[in-house]
Amino acid sequence: MSDPVIEVRDLKLRFPSLDGTEVVHAVDGVSFRIEAGETFGIIGESGSGKSTIGRVLVGLLNPSDGDIVFAGRSRSSISGREWRKARRGFQMIFQDSNAALNPRMTILDSLIEPMRIAGGRSREEMRETALAALVRVGLRPDMAQRYPHELSGGQKQRVNIARILPLEPRLVVCDEVVAALDVSIRGEILNLFRDLQRDLGLAYAFIAHDISVVAQISDRVAVTYLGRFVELGATGDVIERALHPYTVALLSAEPQPLPRALRDDRRLVLQGDIPSPVNPPSGCRFHTRCPWATEICGRVDPEWRELRSGHRVACHHATPEGLPSPGRAGTREMTATWEETS
């Protein structure tokens, strides 16, 4: 097997809280690899640590613990200079299409900027490369003379994609890149990502809180909860045969349930908000909201188990066949309810 584009080993990232008195465990022990040309989806509620993982992947944040390995070399073993060079192969696109565009710069200058910083190209080469990138993402070359405010959200997101293409990235972290776009445009932008992947062999880490978006584009999906992965597998397996109660809840919150198996007459509705990552719950972090939770769940951290080929889960109650019927498993007070939907 070829080397993965990037491998993350037991990544932890802690922030000081806003008032500086507490520690936020934003990412707390996550391991995974992203293969060349693959789309690795990361889903979970707001606050589960997705963006933090993304920022670590592109080197915007340094891990508090754990390591990152790329091209067979560990982040901790190379110099800062080598790392800055290698980092160019890892780029990120954000939800806010304005984030990377200077309102006072023409689109052309915004496209040229990353090439200028990288160095090695003449002004004319940069201009030609920028225009080619613009066309590659489906925009007309005359757009280059415009300013960001003259473009729609979808067009700006295309420009943001065009900006990174000349850097020839191997991995692009896409953080909620279609969340702010009209639903009618989302499909077009997802198709563009797909086309570029096919033509350029890009790998993506595709982050979203919306499971249906991630499911459309990802080869594999990781489900995050409070800084940990609770489930990871091929998209079809996770969607059709979810092993973790949290995944079941995310799927069942979809207006049109994705998996056939869940086209049930009941919907799992989670009560309450995601707990604070300052003091995550003991044992399984999801136990405070889980209808399957039993005594062991509050006490023992569940192991990360491969229950089916390539399909892993951290849950005491999951079996290769899925989860037992929820009513019977739970002995604790129910913290989630099943609502009749038909």
Ligand X SMILES: Nc1ncnc2c1ncn2[C@@H]1O[C@H](COP(=O)(O)OP(=O)(O)O)[C@@H](O)[C@H]1O
223 binds, among Mg ion, ligand X, none (CB under 5 to 8 A by kind): none
Q: Are 230 and 42 in contact (CB under 8 A)?
A: no
- Which residue, 39 or 51, has its beta carbon nearer to Mg ion? 51
| 66/100 Cα distance (integer angstroms) | 29
24 binds, among ligand X, Mg ion, none (CB under 5 to 8 A by kind): ligand X
Beta carbon of residue 51, minimum distance to ligand X (angstroms, whole number): 3
Beta carbon of residue 195, minimum distance to Mg ion (angstroms, whole number): 25
- Which residue, 60 or 118, has its beta carbon nearer to ligand X? 60
Q: Could you list the residues that contact ligand X (CB under 6 A)?
A: 15, 24, 26, 44, 46-52, 277
- Which residue, 53 or 139, has its beta carbon nearer to Mg ion? 53
Beta carbon of residue 62, minimum distance to ligand X (angstroms, whole number): 13
Q: Are 8 and 68 in contact (CB under 8 A)?
A: yes
26 binds, among ligand X, Mg ion, none (CB under 5 to 8 A by kind): ligand X
Cβ-defined contacts of 278-286 (< 8 Å, 24+): 278/17, 278/22, 278/23, 278/24, 278/25, 280/25, 280/28, 280/226, 280/227, 281/226, 284/314, 284/315, 284/316, 285/225, 285/226, 285/228, 286/225, 286/226, 286/230, 286/244, 286/245, 286/246
| Residue 200 in tokens | 């350029």
Between strands 203-208 and 171-175, the pairing is: parallel
Q: Could you list the residues that contact Mg ion (CB under 5 A)?
A: 51
- Which residue, 150 or 273, has its beta carbon nearer to Mg ion? 273
Beta carbon of residue 223, minimum distance to Mg ion (angstroms, whole number): 15
186 binds, among ligand X, Mg ion, none (CB under 5 to 8 A by kind): none
- Which residue, 55 or 136, has its beta carbon nearer to Mg ion? 55
Beta carbon of residue 43, minimum distance to ligand X (angstroms, whole number): 9
Closest among 296, 295, 291, 290 to 274, alpha carbons compared: 290
